Structure formats: structure tokens, C-alpha cells
Amino acid sequence: MNIIIISILTLLVVGAISAIVLFIVSKKFKIFEDPVINKVVEVLPSVNCGGCGFPSCRGFAIACQKAESLEHMVCTVGGLQTMERVATILDKKAGSQYSTVAVVRCGGSCKIRLEKNQYDGVKSCSIAHNLYGGHTGCAFGCLGFGDCKVSCKFNAIDLNPLTGLPEIDEDKCTSCNACVRACPKAIIELRRKGIKSHRIVVNCVNKDKGSRIIESCPVACTGCGKCVKECAVDAITLTNNLAYIDSTICTLCGKCLEVCPTKAIIEVDFPGRKHLIKMDQTVI
């Protein structure tokens, strides 16, 4: 009986000491968190997509609270309206960041690009990219296995069964950047949405020289520079045989489309003058 009593007392003493130690440690290493952060978290979409550059909405809220200015802080899912609410809570001025959307910069469908071989491995863009350049003559083009679709938490991407290319549903796209990170060919980028979603884009990322490009994909940018010369506002640059349109400068005049010999420059969401794409992906 004495042994049982001694054991019980020993356990009580050990438990009491442990509780005291834990209490002291918790007080010593207690981290104070500003209650304002919780208010910011409440107005954020809480999807933890990482599009803002932080691993979670709470991490973004803490960064906003610490930042001197919200000019470069953007919640890609919530947009400007959410950032204005965050600014009100933190008593700071909201940034003037414009809305963006994911854009697939590849116009060469599986039918239009010259097929050189057949890939029988794991249907993953990243794996296929690491193993070989691709099954077509264009080593820069879309592989078509849908890593971007898998990465999208918002079901904003589907693979077109006719072209094999990913298509973005702009109404669902939150610019979280997941598809951009998932694409090993770097053909997806976030671009300025533009007024009424109007955009003009060089629909190609091929950096090969002209003659070689035409053999592999007839709708690729050849780096001829005609669009650069035609642009009156210097919105187009030519680097490594590839033209690029700066959406922050482009006035959407459409003159570059008229001079592009391969129709590699496309316009998006222009009612009445929108490009039509046939089954064989011939742009008209």
C-alpha cells in the first residue's frame, strides 16, 4: 500500500513540476500577434493559393501589417476590392495594381506542328520536358499533358480536345500563378487583363531562327521585327528572335497584327474583329 501511495505522490509532484515548467516556458516564449491581423485574414479569400507570394493568407496578412506601403502588395484572388478593404483595416493606402489573367502563349496545335516522334512515358509535362524536347519539331511549344490543369485549384484550365492546347477560363482564373510555375516550357504568363479584357499577345515563345521555326510551326514568331517597326508607341521588343508586347504600353491599335507574316500575334476579346481559329488551327 505504501508503494502505491508513494507512486501516486511521485506522479503528482512530477506533474505539478511539469505544469509549472510549461507555464514558465509558455510565458517566456509567448508570441504576441496584433489582433488587426485576424481582421485582415477575415477579409481575405482564405484559399492559400500562394499567388501573392506568401504561403498562406495569414502570412500575407502579416506582411501587409508590417509593410510601410501596400503599393506592391496584391491579393490576386480578391483583387483590388479586397486590397481596398485591407487598406481600410490597416489605415494604409491601397496599391494601384491592375488585374491580371493567365495567358497561354502557344498557338501551334498538335495538328499544325510537325510531329517527329511519339512519347509513351508518364503523361506529365515536367517529366517529358526533362526527358526530351517534345514530340514535335518545336522544342519550345506546349507538351499538352496538362500539368497546368492539374495545378489549378479553381478549375480554370481545360485542354482543348481538338488542339491539345490548354485554355483559360478568365471568369474562374484568379492569377494565383500556379499554372505559370507548373509549365516547364514557360508558355503561360500572367498578363494585364486590359480594359474589357482586350489584349494583344505574341502567341509564341519560340526563340529559334526564322527558317527553322517555319519548318516546325508555321504560326510561330520568326523574329522578323516587322511588328517592332510598325508599333508607334514602342510597346514591342525583339529579344532572342522573339517579339514581346508590353501590355502596360500597348494601345491595342492592332497594327502589329496586320504586318505579322505568320499571324503569330493574336487579339483577344475584341467583339467584331476577334480572330477565328479553324479545326486545323489556321488563323483567319
* Structural domain count of the chain: 2
In a domain, 274, yes or no: no
Q: Does one domain contain both 145 and 201?
A: yes
Q: Between vectors from CA 119 to CA 147 and to CA 169, what angle results, nearest 5°?
A: 30
Q: Domain boundary at 90, 111, 127, which?
A: 90
Q: Does one domain contain both 56 and 188?
A: no
Local confidence pLDDT in tens for the 284 residues of the chain: 577 777 777 888 888 888 888 888 777 776 666 788 888 888 888 888 777 778 888 888 888 888 888 877 888 777 778 888 888 898 888 776 677 889 999 988 766 776 777 777 788 999 888 887 777 778 888 988 999 999 998 899 999 988 889 999 988 888 888 999 999 999 999 888 776 778 899 999 998 876 777 777 888 899 999 999 999 999 999 999 999 999 888 988 889 999 999 999 998 877 655 443 333 333 33
For residue 258 the three cell numbers come to 496586320
Q: Does one domain contain both 86 and 104?
A: no
Q: Where are the alpha helices (DSSP H) in the chain?
A: 2-28, 35-43, 57-66, 79-90, 125-131, 147-151, 178-182, 210-216, 226-230, 255-259
The whole domain housing 48 covers: 35-90
The pTM of the whole model exceeds 0.85: no
Q: Where residue 131 sits, what CATH number does that domain have? A: 3.30.70.20
Q: Does one domain contain both 111 and 229?
A: yes
Q: Where residue 73 sits, what CATH number does that domain have? A: 1.10.15
Beta-carbon contacts of residue 11 (< 8 Å; ≥ 6 apart): none
Q: How many CA atoms lie less than 13 Å away from 169 in the CB half-sphere? A: 12
Q: Does one domain contain both 109 and 247?
A: yes
Q: Does one domain contain both 199 and 137?
A: yes
Amino acid letter, residue 78: G
